[in-house]
Amino acid sequence: MFKLITADMKVLGHRLWIIPVGLFLFVTTFSFIPYLNQVQSFQYLIFISLIPALLLYELFRENHKNNSEIMVMTMPIDRKKIVYSKYLLLFGFIMIGFVAGLISKELITFFNIGLNNNFVDPMSKDMLFALTFILRVGLFIIPIYHYTRKLNLSFFAGIIGYFLILAGYFELYYEVFGWTWFGDRVISHLSNISIVISIALIIHLVVKYKFKGISKEKIVNGWFIVLAYLTTVTLQLLIKNLIHFDLYLRLKKICGDLAHLYTAEQLEKYHNLINQYNEYLLMVGLSFIVLTLALILIHRKAENKFFQYAVLFVMLPIFMIIFGEYSYDFFTWNFRRFHSYEAYVIVKNLFSYLNLIIGVFISVKVSIYLLKNNRTL
Amino acid sequence: MNKILEINNVEKSFEGFKLDKINFSLNKGYIMGFIGPNGAGKTTTIRLIMNLLKKNSGDIKIFGMDNVADEVTIKDRIGFVYEESYFYEHLTIKKMKEIISPFYSRWDDEKFDEYCDIFGLLPKKKIKDLSKGTKMKFSLAVALSHHAELLILDEPTSGLDPVFRDKLMDILREEIQDENKSILFSTHITSDLEKIADYITFINDGKIVFSDQKDILLENYKIVKGDTKILSAEIKNQLLGVKENKFGFEALCNVEKHSIFSQFDIVTEKPSLEQMMVYLSNKM
């Protein structure tokens, strides 16, 4: 693998230092120009994020230009190592960006005399987050490229797709994953889910009647993706509500032993919340079970493994978010009661990167499958 | 183990084309010419051998090992020349060699330098500045520089001048002198094969038409020419790739069926490989 990484670095050649140095100089000098040094920290972070992004693009561009991957695949190289080396290189590019950003930050703050300056000293932690954003987008770009072998499409689809999915079809995602039990959004969440199903149904009918050449398996795959998305939605709703189980228990206690301390009106409100919780949990739980069974049924009828990996890949952002942000909420809600704040912060930070680890795992697995199965060579 | 390459019942389907039950093998110490018209399936077959494409069924064994399961081990012992250049164009010959050589366990720098001298390759020249023929020479130099036991050459002589082609044939003949190496040589220039090939495999429309010793093939077929009046339906059925014009007919005929012309005035000729390919392609 070291040989592959060395080979790719030789392929990049001068760009390996020209791009980081160029962007470093641009960012650093830009912030010293009077009346132009209105650089806000997020702009600074964007520039530094460009270092790994451009290096990754250039690497893929060189491999893509003359189909040099074909040459690589005729050599005695394990396909897994080809994939691993790309991800390791991406990580290396991110570290280059991080180091460039750190040095630039120190220079700017050292020489900065604070005149007419809106520059906000970006924390190293923020910088690392911006750089890992490139890693997260890269997790989409690399498998898409291995599938399509189209460079610009892969980068475009990876970046836009990542934003679209994160934004959850723009706002739909936040609505669906939002606060459900205490709020009055149950109806809106159900309507959002029904929108997803309606859109899938319309697409199904259009595909079935207008594009008669589409195979049955592709239509089944499409429904699998929709059902997998809804399954993860219900799973997330379950987790989100189970997080507040302690609140539910407190409400039960209020309505039980401590009822004499509250007014009738308050008690009625709490009773309603308890009932809502029970019903909602039951509804979401049953939906999750039904959807999972439907997925298992379709999975059993699958004719080939490709779409399993495709579904995994499509679900990648969902898994990343579920197992990241919400998992530490779920697993650490009790932890923070019995451990120090410092310990809690460490565990919280670990979980916030857990999604990245899972994302890398899924992305690598999908890429290896695509490369080994030569889908578009 | 005598067989260095075995292809058994390999099938591969694309939209509009199918490689149908491909069967042939190559023994150690021999050169096999792999011929066929454009679109016959030569490059597809070679890509399947090199695991650049996934086969639908069948098995491919190289050095007695499965070409997929033991891919890395096998490719260390194969010298491969592709029809097109897939090198990084912005790199020099020297840099390109520095990228490739670490991956081969038996890379020989001296041999590579020797071939660069023979082929007239300048190490500091960029790949993009090389002509098509020179890129092919570089590709050959790489394939020949790591003591490969099997050379797979896909149209290696395209773009090369006759003088160099002749030199290359000499080099290839020399390579297999120790009888431990073999060469699979796909080409349209059948005159090259007539000089060095021991076996010929002819593929057409995704099917293997024949795979046999070159000398036997050339002995087993004749070109027959005569008057169209003698071309009855029965006789036509016995011939391959019949061409008719106002002056007469010509076709390829298996020597076993030659007796049908005993009572007719015809002319027979020994065919070249190219002529065999033309007639057999017409027949299909």
Q: Which of B212, B234, B252 is the last residue of a domain?
A: B212
One domain for residues A137 and A187: no
CB-nearest to B87 from A7, A71, A73 is A71
Range of the domain at B259: 218-283
CB-nearest to B75 from A13, A68, A75 is A75
B21 three-class SS: strand
One domain for residues A260 and A285: yes
In a domain, A346, yes or no: no
One domain for residues B36 and B152: yes
Long-range contacts made by residues A212-221, C-beta under 8 angstroms, separation at least 24? A217/A303, A217/A307, A220/A298, A220/A301, A220/A302, A221/A307, A221/A310, A221/A311
One domain for residues B179 and B268: no
One domain for residues A107 and A176: no
Contacts (Cβ under 8 Å, ≥6 apart) of B127:
B85, B87, B88, B89, B90, B91, B92, B93, B96, B135, B138
In a domain, A162, yes or no: yes
Q: Which of B180, B212, B244 is the last residue of a domain?
A: B212
* Chain A: closest CA distance from residue B256 (Å): 43
One domain for residues B9 and B138: yes
One domain for residues B160 and B256: no
Pick among A10, A12, A72, A74 to test the B interface (most B CBs inside 10 A): A74
ipTM of the prediction: 0.83
CB-nearest to B85 from A66, A78, A79 is A66
In a domain, A196, yes or no: yes
Number of folded domains in chain B? 2
Q: Which of A277, A303, A329 is the last residue of a domain?
A: A303
Taking an 8 Å cut-off on Cβ atoms, the answer to whether A76 and B76 are in contact is: yes
One domain for residues B72 and B177: yes
One domain for residues B128 and B197: yes
Is the CB of residue B257 less than 8 Å away from at least one CB of chain A? no
One domain for residues A57 and A149: yes
Of residues A187, A182, A285, A296, the one with CA closest to residue A237: A285
> For A27-64, what is each residue's pLDDT tens digit?
777 666 665 555 556 666 777 788 888 899 998 998 88
Torsion on CA atoms A102, A104, A110, A116, rounded to nearest 10: -120
CB A31 within 8 A of CB A119: yes
Taking an 8 Å cut-off on Cβ atoms, the answer to whether A70 and B100 are in contact is: no
One domain for residues B197 and B258: no
In a domain, A364, yes or no: no
In a domain, A353, yes or no: no
One domain for residues A108 and A146: yes
What is the count of residue pairs from A and B with beta carbons less than 8 Å apart? 70
CB B153 within 8 A of CB B81: yes
**Cα(A11)–Cα(A4) distance, integer angstroms:** 10
Contacts (Cβ under 8 Å, ≥6 apart) of A123:
none
B148 three-class SS: coil
Q: In what order do the strands lie in the sheet with B248-254?
A: B239-245, B248-254, B221-226, B267-269
> Closest residue of B to A60, CA-based?
B88
**pLDDT by position in tens, chain A (length 377):** 888 999 998 898 888 888 888 887 777 776 666 655 555 566 667 777 888 888 999 989 988 887 888 888 899 999 999 999 999 999 999 888 888 888 877 777 776 644 444 555 556 667 777 777 788 888 888 888 887 788 888 888 777 766 655 544 434 444 444 445 555 555 566 666 677 777 778 888 887 777 766 777 677 777 777 777 777 777 767 776 776 777 788 888 888 888 888 888 888 888 888 887 787 777 778 878 887 887 777 766 655 555 556 656 656 655 655 555 555 555 656 666 666 777 766 766 676 677 777 778 888 888 888 888 765 44
One domain for residues A149 and A183: no
In a domain, A319, yes or no: no
One domain for residues A51 and A160: yes
* Chain B: closest CA distance from residue A48 (Å): 27
Q: Which of A303, A332, A364 is the last residue of a domain?
A: A303
**Cα(B212)–Cα(A283) distance, integer angstroms:** 71
**Cα(A261)–Cα(B188) distance, integer angstroms:** 96
Range of the domain at A263: 168-303
One domain for residues A156 and A210: no
Looking at the whole model, is its pTM more than 0.90?
Answer: no
Contacts (Cβ under 8 Å, ≥6 apart) of A168:
A174, A175, A176, A177
One domain for residues A151 and A174: no
One domain for residues B97 and B125: yes
One domain for residues B190 and B276: no
Number of folded domains in chain A? 2
One domain for residues A281 and A269: yes
Residue position matching structure tokens 């919400």: A326
Tokens encoding A248: 């539910």
In a domain, A267, yes or no: yes
Q: Which residues of A touch B85 (CB under 8 A)?
A: 66
The count of other CB atoms within 10 Å of the CB of residue B63 is 18
CB-nearest to B89 from A7, A65, A78 is A65
**Cα(A207)–Cα(A202) distance, integer angstroms:** 8
Residues of A with CB under 8 A from a CB of B: 3, 6-7, 10-11, 13, 62, 65-68, 70-71, 73-79, 373-374, 377
One domain for residues A175 and A113: no
In a domain, A354, yes or no: no
Q: Which of A274, A303, A332 is the last residue of a domain?
A: A303
One domain for residues A150 and A177: no
CATH of the domain at B117: 3.40.50.300
* Chain A: closest CA distance from residue B87 (Å): 6
